[in-house]
């Protein structure tokens, strides 16, 4: 009740599945590292026996799902126990859903950011072992930054989205969220794989890398990122550079990124055109200028020519980022001020976000501005991002685990 991190708790299913996994273990059958581990599922995906609400009032009374989505089916096969559906910002934006605002367990006076709001909050608070979230443009990174967890945004096409809400067909990605980097690999291994039900699904394997020596890696970093970085981010950068990797200067491609989200808005408005044309968008709780109802309407004035030009720019970004990664194994930088969050979402490159340290903050808006500068400060997490070439999640996880051990800040839990 403090965090509003769950929309539906699936008690009966969770207990039945847990009993079944206990019985298998007692009989000597162990499915793998996820056997019996409880998890939460962002309420954009179907799970048999529960409604899928997408966090939005117009869909809050939708039908109960008759089948599991692909991700849930894969996790069930791996032995994981579904606790229920975690809250998400309505239609995958923000931390405001139709019942409440999901809260940051390190400072419940503020929202948890979004849109994987409940997944990040529940994981950080220890309400589940791990969770599944999604990202189209920051929805794994932002709430992990706010709540202090770790999350992996896989290469586009690696994890099936079948049985989940489509916001932006060419951008949506599903990925794992956990308290420790080491936990992300087994989860990705379980949910990875080709699925004919998802037209964007790619045939590619994955297994967590046993690599513990990261000293030979080429680590990209841009010294300009130090300007304006927090003390925690600076400490994380220096710790990463001290692990024995070879530092390589990483210039961000000299291309504009501001126009790219217009493609996201156009696809999202197309996906929810019926909501706009029927005026059912009036039922949405969040109605500010930046919210979906107004964005869906405004983007209809984007010309076809402009949309094609944005798509051409996206292709140029794909080529430029591919070339930029040719000389490095991975890149470390700030989540937002690096300028890489937007373009790497549009190019499909993988990203690991992980806790770097802590800072003193007063309650913030979803966009990070102070809500009440006179309020008492709280100790809240800071995260950093690691990026890698396409399909090199193994490198991200190996280096991230070494960095997490070096920093020694991942074990602190919220007090509430």
DSSP of 111-161: E--SSSHHHHHHHHTTSSSEEEEEESSSTTHHHHHHHT-EEEEPPTTSB--
**DSSP type of residue 100:** -
Question: What is the number of alpha carbons within 13 Å of residue 281 lying toward its C-beta?
Answer: 19
Q: Please state the φ and ψ torsions of residue 295, each to the nearest 5 degrees.
A: -65, -45
* Active-site entry in 87, 112, 115, 121: 115
Token code pair at residue 153: 């945004």
Contact by Cβ (8 Å): 115, 20: no
Q: Active site includes 303?
A: no
* Active-site entry in 116, 119, 139, 385: 139
Q: How far apart are CA 403 and CA 240, in angstroms?
A: 6
As beta bridge partners, residue 221 has 249
Q: How far apart are CA 114 and CA 367, in angstroms?
A: 10
Q: How far apart are CA 84 and CA 99, in angstroms?
A: 16
Between the CA of residue 199 and those of 1, 193, 281, what are the distances in Å?
Answer: 39, 13, 28
Sign of CA dihedral 257, 258, 264, 267: negative
Contact by Cβ (8 Å): 146, 133: no
* Active-site entry in 42, 57, 85, 173: 42
Contact by Cβ (8 Å): 84, 6: yes
As beta bridge partners, residue 407 has none
Q: How far apart are CA 339 and CA 341, in angstroms?
A: 6
Q: How far apart are CA 348 and CA 317, in angstroms?
A: 10
Q: Active site includes 242?
A: no
Q: How far apart are CA 247 and CA 57, in angstroms?
A: 49
Token code pair at residue 51: 């409604």
Token code pair at residue 340: 């890489």
Q: Active site includes 115?
A: yes
Between the CA of residue 278 and those of 35, 60, 164, 273, 289, what are the distances in Å?
Answer: 45, 17, 23, 8, 19
Count of other CB atoms within 10 angstroms of residue 254: 6
Catalytic residues: 42, 115, 139
């Amino acid at each position: 009740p403090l965090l509003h991190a769950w929309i539906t708790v699936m008690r009966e299913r969770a207990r039945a599945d847990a009993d079944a996994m206990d019985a298998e273990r007692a009989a000597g059958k162990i499915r793998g590292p996820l056997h019996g581990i409880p998890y939460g599922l962002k309420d954009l995906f179907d799970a048999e026996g529960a409604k899928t609400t997408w966090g939005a009032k117009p869909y809050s009374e939708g039908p109960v799902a008759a089948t599991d989505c692909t991700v849930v089916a894969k996790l069930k096969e791996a032995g994981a126990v579904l606790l229920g559906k975690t809250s998400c910002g309505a239609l995958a934006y923000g931390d405001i859903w139709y019942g409440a605002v999901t809260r940051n367990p390190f400072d419940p006076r503020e929202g948890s950011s979004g849109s994987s709001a409940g997944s990040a909050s529940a994981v950080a608070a220890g309400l589940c072992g791990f969770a599944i979230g999604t990202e189209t443009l920051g929805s794994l990174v932002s709430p992990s930054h706010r709540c202090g967890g770790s999350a992996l945004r896989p290469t586009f096409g690696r994890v099936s989205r079948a049985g989940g809400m489509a916001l932006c067909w060419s951008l949506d990605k599903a990925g794992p969220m956990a308290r420790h980097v080491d936990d992300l690999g087994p989860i990705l291994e379980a949910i990875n794989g080709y699925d004919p039900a998802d037209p964007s699904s790619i045939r590619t394997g994955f297994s967590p890398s046993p690599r513990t020596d990261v000293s030979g890696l080429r680590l990209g970093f841009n010294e300009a990122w130090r300007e304006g970085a927090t003390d925690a981010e600076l400490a994380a950068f220096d710790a990463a550079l001290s692990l024995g990797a070879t530092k390589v200067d990483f210039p961000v491609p000299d291309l504009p990124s501001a126009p790219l989200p217009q493609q996201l808005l156009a696809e999202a408005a197309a996906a929810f055109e019926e909501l706009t044309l029927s005026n059912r968008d009036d039922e949405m709780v969040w109605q500010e200028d930046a919210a979906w109802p107004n964005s869906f309407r405004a983007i209809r004035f984007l010309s076809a020519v402009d949309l094609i030009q944005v798509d051409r720019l996206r292709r140029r970004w794909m080529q430029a980022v591919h070339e930029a990664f040719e000389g490095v194994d991975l890149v470390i930088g700030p989540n937002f001020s690096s300028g890489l969050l937007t373009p790497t979402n549009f190019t499909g490159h993988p990203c690991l976000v992980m806790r770097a340290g802590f800072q003193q903050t007063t309650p913030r808006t979803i966009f990070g501005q102070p809500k009440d500068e006179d309020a008492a400060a709280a100790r809240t997490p800071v995260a950093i991002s690691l990026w890698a070439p396409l399909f090199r999640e193994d490198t991200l996880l190996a280096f991230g685990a070494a960095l997490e051990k070096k920093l020694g800040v991942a074990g602190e839990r919220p007090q509430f």
